[in-house]
Amino acid sequence: MKINSHYLELQNNYLFSTVAKKTAAFQAANPSLDVLRLSIGDVTLPLCPSVVRALHNATDEMASAATFRGYGPEQGYGFLREALCKYYKGFGVDLEPTEVFVSDGAKSDLGNVLDILSNENSVLIPDPVYPAYLDVNVMLGRRILTVAGNRENGFKPSPEDAPVADIIYICSPNNPTGAAYNRTELKAWVDFALAHGSLILYDAAYEAFIRDNTLPHSIYEIEGSRNCAIELCSFSKTAGFTGTRCGYTVVPHTLVFDGTELNHLWNRRQCTKFNGVPYIVQRAAEAVFSEQGQSEIHSALSYYFDNATTIHEGLNALGIWHTGGVSSPYIWMECPKGLSSWDFFDILLERGNVVGTPGAGFGKQGEGYFRLTAFGDREKTKEAVKRLTAVIQGL
Ligand code: MLT
C-alpha cells in the first residue's frame, strides 16, 4: 500500500486552519480577552426569513409519508435547477436545467471537477488566490503555473502576462483581493482559453456582491465562454449558507474536449460519487430566488457593505493603501510599516486582539498585504477597526 505522496508536498496546514489554530492558542492563553475575528469569510447574520420558512415547510414534508423524499436526483431537483436558469436569464444568459448541477458548495466542486480532467493537464492559478485551487491540484501532482496579481494590474492578472496552460482558474469578484474583472478583461481570458484550447474554471462565489451593473456576474455573459468555461457558485456568501451547504456548477453542453461533452462526464461522475444535496436545503436555496428572498438577501448584503465602509473609513483615516470591499466582502490592505503579513497578523492579534488573514497565505504576491472581511457583526466590526487603528498608530 502506498499513500498519495503528493499530499506530502502540501503546506503543513490549510491557511484558515492555521489562522484558527493560532487564534485558539492565543485565546486559550488569554481567556479573558475578547478576540474579534475579521479573518475567515464566514457570515454572521442568520438565514433570511424566506429561507427559514422554506426549511420548515420542507422539514414538515419529510415528516409525512405522503410527501417524504428519499434519494433525490444526483444533479439536483428540477425546481432548483429551473430557478437557477431563471436567475441567469436576468443576466441575459440562457442555460438549460441539464447544464446546472446542484452541489454542496463551490469548494467541493472546485476539487471534484478535476476528476474528469486528465492529470497531465497543466494548471494556471492567479497569485494571490483562494488557497483551495492550489491545494487540490498539488494533491494530484499537477504542473502548476502562476500569473501575478499586483498593485500595477489592480490585482487583476491579465492573459498577456500568463503562460499557456490547460486549465485556468479565475475568481471574480476575487477572493482575497476583491478585484472584479470587467467584460473586456474577462473577454481577454475567454479569447486566450479559446486560442489555446484551455478550460476555464470560473469561481463566481461572490457574484451577488457586484454593485456596478457594468460588471459581469457570470462568465457566460461573455461571448465564446460556453465553449471554454465551467462556472462554480455557492449560496454560502450570497445567502448565508456557509453552515447549510449548497452551491452549483454549470457545465454547458457546448463544452466539448477530445470530442466529448464535459457535461456528460460530469453527470457520469456525479451519478457514481454524489447522492445529492438534502431536499430541505434545496428548497431553502430555491427560496433565495423568490421576490421576498431576493429582497431579504440584498438587505443582508447591505449590512455587510456597511461593515466594508467602516473598514474603508478606518484605513483611509490611517492613510493605509487598500482595495476591495466595493463589489466584494473582502478588503485587501497593505501591511503598515513594511511588515510581513504574518508579523502584522501576530502584532494585531497580540496588541489589538483582532484576527485577519495574512496575504502571504494566498500566495507569494500576497506578502506585505492583509485581508479583512466585512462579514462580521456591525458593532464588533466598529470595535475591531478602533483597535486596528490604535495598533497601527502605536507602531
Ligand atoms: C475565505 O475566507 O476565503 C472563505 O471563507 C473560504 C471559503 O469560502 O471556503
Nearest CA to ligand 1 atom 4: 41
pLDDT band at 12 (very low <50, low <70, confident <90, very high): confident
CA 136 / ligand 1 centre spacing (Å): 15
Give 123-182 pLDDT, tens digit per residue.
999 999 999 999 999 999 999 999 999 999 999 999 999 999 999 999 999 999 999 999
Give 247-261 pLDDT, tens digit per residue.
999 999 999 999 999
Distances from the Cα of 31 to the Cαs of 16, 26, 34, 241, in angstroms?
Answer: 21, 8, 8, 30
Distance CA 176, CA 182 (A): 17
- % of the chain exceeding 90 in pLDDT: 98
- What per-residue confidence (pLDDT) applies to 377? 97
Q: Which of 15, 17, 23, 40 to mutate to test the pocket of ligand 1 (most atoms within 8 A of CB)?
A: 40
Model-level pTM? 0.96
In three-state secondary structure terms, 371 is strand
- What per-residue confidence (pLDDT) applies to 82? 98
Mean pLDDT over each residue of the chain, to the nearest integer: 97
Preceding omega of 216 cis (within 30 degrees of 0): no
Closest CA to 392 of 336, 314, 340: 336
- What per-residue confidence (pLDDT) applies to 172? 98
Distance CA 326, CA 343 (A): 27
pLDDT band at 13 (very low <50, low <70, confident <90, very high): confident
Record the cell numbers describing residue 65, joined without a space.
409519508
Nearest CA to ligand 1 atom 6: 41
Locate cell 462565489: which residue? 205
**Residue 168 belongs to what H/E stretch?**
strand 167-171
CA 80 / ligand 1 centre spacing (Å): 24
Asked whether the predicted pLDDT for residue 14 surpasses 90, the reply is no
Record the cell numbers describing residue 354, joined without a space.
483582532
| Ligand 1 atom at minimum distance from 107 CA | 9
| Ligand 1 atom at minimum distance from 40 CA | 2
Asked whether the predicted pLDDT for residue 11 surpasses 90, the reply is no
Q: Which residues line ligand 1 (CB under 6 A)?
A: 40-42, 107, 130, 175
Give 94-119 pLDDT, tens digit per residue.
999 999 999 999 999 999 999 999 99
CA 247 / ligand 1 centre spacing (Å): 14
| Ligand 1 atom at minimum distance from 237 CA | 8
Q: Which of 136, 175, 357, 370 to mutate to test the pocket of ligand 1 (most atoms within 8 A of CB)?
A: 175
